[in-house]
Amino acid sequence: MSSSLIKAVNVRFDENSMTIALSDGRALGVPLAWFPRLLHASQAQRMQYRISTRGLHWEALDEDISLAGLLAGYGDMTRRPAQAA
């Protein structure tokens, strides 16, 4: 299956990580430290996500995460690597 056909279907959080359920049956876990806005958000704020064709979006947190970037192993791309968490 091409990565362009893989979609996020659900997102869950624990204290330190975010797990994205994918349409092909896999689950992708990433540390919240990769995304400081989510790391410092409340659980209620984290749950206010929207799944789009390209990834995940949190309106109130001004956070967009591309599924392609996650699959490639990228974290927060809004900062230069030396500044990322």
Per-residue pLDDT reduced to its tens digit, 14-24 = 999 999 999 99
pLDDT for 83 beyond 80: no
Confidence of residue 4 (pLDDT cuts 50, 70, 90): low
Strands (DSSP E) found in the chain: 8-13, 17-22, 27-31, 50-51, 55-58, 63-66
Please write the tens of the pLDDT for every residue from 34-73: 999 999 999 999 999 999 988 999 999 999 999 999 999 8
Confidence of residue 32 (pLDDT cuts 50, 70, 90): very high
